[in-house]
Amino acid sequence: MTQLMRSWVDSANTAKTDFPLNNLPYGAFHVAGDDLHAGVAIGDQILDVTALEEAGLLDLPAKAVFARGTWNDFMALGADVWRSFRTYLTATLAEGSAEQTTLQTHLVPMADATLELPFTVTEFTDFYAGRHHAFNVGSLFRDPANALPPNWLHIPIGYNGRASSVVVSGTDVTRPNGQLKAPDAEMPVFAPSKRFDLELEMGAIVGRPSKGRVSVQEADDMIFGYVLLNDWSARDIQAWEYQPLGPFQAKATATTISPWIVTKDALEPFRASTPPREKELLPYLQEPGPMLYDIDLEVALAPEGKPETILSRTNYNVMYYSAAQQLTHHTTSGCPMRVGDLLGSGTISGPEKENRGSLLELSWGGQEPLTLDTGETRTFLEDGDTLTLRGAAKGDGYKIGFGDCAGTLRPAPAID
């Protein structure tokens, strides 16, 4: 395991920071209403790479790569540029760098910045690739002996979601209205969702386009980096609408992502293998090596104006299908992938109750209310609740963190 790499930015040299020199994640920010700039997190500072480019300090094969303040144009330059840029950042931010004096003038305190979406999301696909989650949900609504659909152990199941409703951490989420139907009711009603939920996920960002089918290794090479992802879900809307075509409005309210893209290079020391297969996968889905990551994850809920309770702790390494396998399967139909496509992993739940990544599982469909540290109970989310996802890969004296992925639930709009 690699050790903490020391930087001349003092706040990066602590085990507490999410953003040591080993990490260097990519984000987008503005200060006091200024234009959007691309930045790199280092300790409690942001290195303004848009300003570096404007000052002629970056050696890139194209001009105005960071002019829009997001990372799509940089991703499109390809993996060789990704690596050389990261090498440049690591060297110039390292302790003893001759570039310290120059780069210091382009640091912005993170506390002074407003973080925005770090890339423009071109398409969003959400998967259902966690075995424990799939088994729990199947057990809730079917016989546990037949909890998994017949195809589940053979194929990473997914659906095409809405890129337009992907938002950055800190954005409020409004409880949706929709059609609801009680099991014993003759007709549905149009009303606010009463069973609004979270889903603890990781998001993989496609940095290279594809035409035609790609292998698992090629898919892994296409992935630029990862974010935390909360795919907010209206369970009661979903229960009425999902037959026969699957989720629609139940998943369209919002998908919150963390503000920093953690690169695949930063996560490389934390590679992990998928679990043993219960049924052998078809050759095109078999992995040439470890494609998951050892990333500790947690979910916290804070009622309005009150302290938070940790609801769940789990790890990304429990997933049955990796992002590379999901991306490979996505291309089998000839579906082209584009720079900026976002793939949600599916809910990440572990084997024990305290490892479950949704309230649907934690409260067992509302039958087992959770008691918060404040003494209140929850089956599903209440207005004013703030959900925060956190994640970090743990190294020797350092961690590779993502920053908080948080959102506060606000009341549904009035129905005319």
- Indicate which residues carry an active-site annotation: 133
- Residue 72 CA to residue 208 CA, distance in Å, equals 10
- Residue 276 CA to residue 268 CA, distance in Å, equals 21
For residue 373, which phi and psi values (nearest 5 degrees)?
Answer: -65, -20
Is residue 85 within 8 A of residue 66, CB to CB? The reply is: no
- Nearest one of 134, 137, 140 to 155, comparing CA atoms: 134
N-term to C-term CA, the chain: 59
Q: What is the DSSP string of 289-300?
A: S--EE--EEEEE
- Position 164, amino acid: S
Q: Within a 10 A sphere around the Cβ of 4, how many other Cβ atoms?
A: 18
- Residue 235 CA to residue 360 CA, distance in Å, equals 8
Q: Is 46 left (phi over 0), alpha (psi -120 to 50) or beta?
A: beta
